[in-house]
């Protein structure tokens, strides 16, 4: 499969320098790195699936957040300016 990438010149130059240092054509250098990236992505996805459902993690997070005490919301009276500075009114 052929893919066209539009890279910034400085990025392209850096990749080309790395490919030359590895003694590979740029296309082969990029192909190898993309294969490693794809394999790593598969491993991470597998680990996430093996560790449990994301919904379970989310449910545990919600339960943890709900474990904190509920603080009452301030009343309308507490938000009035004259109650902030009682000595000025």
Sorted by where each begins, the domain ranges of the chain are 9-66
pLDDT along the chain (89 residues), means of 10: 87 92 91 84 65 76 87 83 76
> pTM of whole model > 0.75?
no
User: pLDDT value at position 41?
Assistant: 72
| Distances in whole angstroms, Cα of residue 13 to Cα of each of 31, 34, 83, 84 | 17, 18, 65, 62
User: pLDDT value at position 55?
Assistant: 79
Q: Which residue has the tokens 């500075």?
A: 85
């Amino acid at each position: 499969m052929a893919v066209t990438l539009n890279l910034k010149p400085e990025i392209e130059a850096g990749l080309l320098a790395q490919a030359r240092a590895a003694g590979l054509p740029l296309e082969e250098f990029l192909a190898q790195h993309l294969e490693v990236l794809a394999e790593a992505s598969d491993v991470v996805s597998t680990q996430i699936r093996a560790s449990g459902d994301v919904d379970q993690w989310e449910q545990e997070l919600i339960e943890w957040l709900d474990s904190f005490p509920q603080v009452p919301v301030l009343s309308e009276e507490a938000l009035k300016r004259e109650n902030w500075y009682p000595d000025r009114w």
